[in-house]
């Protein structure tokens, strides 16, 4: 948002925005460093959870989300900060940006709990069923097909359009106060989760702590949300995932573990 100063000119909180962007970059870079170190430490872990306990998995998951999602969430976070600065400049009540971010991260923490529960269940089923172990590649192929189909679905397009339009989201979803900021963060986090949950799901068979796979996925998500042709990129990715999944179902040896 832009703020009019006493002279009537337009003043933008450029320095504050640069600080916010710098902090997001530092947090994302730090999260990548921690993620790489954790990946090395768990390189011998087995199964979808890589042998991690629930609390450890959740901690690692949240760090991964900071590393992978903060770059694409930066436009929304910066816009929230700009509006809060404008309200403060007019003498109105405002909320620090970190409150919005807490709400956003709460969604990803909750998703980590859900993913861990699913991973534990799948590991248990795989241990009890020889058929699942023998057909693991084809099951992964089905997951790729599902992820590809989801990329082409109206629900994906609706969530992605929200993530690609920070200003529109702010205009329609603004809530006052700390509770309102958390609610906005949660709502935006849900849109992001709606965009990406099946993309993250395919990390599990590829290797949940595979840094190359995470890096590629993070770049694709960033492109979907910020590039002018992001919608086209999302559809192209969907077609590629769908075709690759079909290929794995037909020829399981085509599955490449990251």
Q: What is the mean pLDDT of residues 142-164?
A: 95
Using pLDDT thresholds of 50, 70 and 90, give the confidence band for residue 258: low
Q: What is the pLDDT of residue 12?
A: 54
Helix 230-250 crosses helix 154-163 at what angle (to 10 degrees)?
Answer: 140
Question: Which bin fits 177, alpha (ψ -120 to 50), beta or left (φ > 0)?
Answer: left
Q: What is the pTM of this model?
A: 0.84
Nearby residues of 195 by Cβ (< 8 Å), 6 or more positions away: 156, 159, 160, 163, 221, 224, 225
Does pLDDT of 196 surpass 60?
yes
Does pLDDT of 93 surpass 90?
no
State the Cα–Cα distance between residues 13 and 3, nearest whole angstrom. 8
Q: What is the pLDDT of residue 8?
A: 40
Nearby residues of 46 by Cβ (< 8 Å), 6 or more positions away: none
Task: Name the E strands within 120-178.
Answer: none
Q: What is the pLDDT of residue 40?
A: 76
Q: What is the pLDDT of residue 4?
A: 44
Q: What is the pLDDT of residue 46?
A: 55
Nearest to residue 38, comparing CAs of 52, 22, 17?
52
Helical residues (DSSP H) of 177-210, grouped into ranges: 177-201, 203-207
State how far the alpha carbon of 110 is from the alpha carbons of 58, 64, 171, 225, in Å: 9, 14, 26, 22
> What would the two tokens of residue 42 be?
């768990």
Q: What is the pLDDT of residue 112?
A: 93
């Amino acid at each position: 948002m832009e703020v009019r100063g006493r002279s009537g000119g337009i003043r933008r909180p450029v320095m504050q925005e640069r600080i916010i962007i710098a902090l997001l970059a530092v947090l994302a870079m730090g999260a990548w460093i921690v993620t790489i170190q954790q990946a090395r430490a768990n390189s011998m872990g087995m199964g979808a959870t890589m042998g991690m306990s629930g609390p450890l998995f959740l901690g690692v998951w949240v760090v991964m989300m900071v590393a992978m999602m903060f770059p694409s969430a930066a436009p929304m976070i910066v816009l929230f900060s700009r509006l809060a600065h404008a309200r403060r400049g007019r003498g109105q009540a405002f909320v620090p940006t970190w409150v919005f971010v807490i709400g956003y991260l709460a969604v990803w923490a909750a998703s980590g709990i859900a993913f861990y529960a699913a991973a534990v269940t799948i590991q248990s089923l795989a241990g009890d069923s020889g058929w699942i172990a023998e057909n693991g590649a084809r099951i992964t192929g089905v997951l790729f097909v599902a992820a590809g189909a989801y990329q082409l679905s109206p629900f994906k397009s609706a969530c992605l359009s929200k993530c690609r339009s920070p200003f529109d989201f702010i205009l329609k979803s603004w809530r006052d106060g700390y509770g309102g900021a958390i609610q906005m963060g949660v709502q935006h986090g849900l849109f992001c989760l709606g965009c990406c949950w099946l993309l993250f799901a395919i990390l599990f068979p590829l290797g949940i702590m595979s840094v190359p796979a995470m890096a590629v996925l993070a770049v694709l998500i960033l492109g979907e949300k910020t590039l002018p042709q992001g919608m086209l990129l999302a559809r192209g990715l969907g077609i590629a995932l769908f075709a690759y999944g079909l290929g794995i179902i037909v020829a399981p040896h085509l599955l490449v573990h990251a």
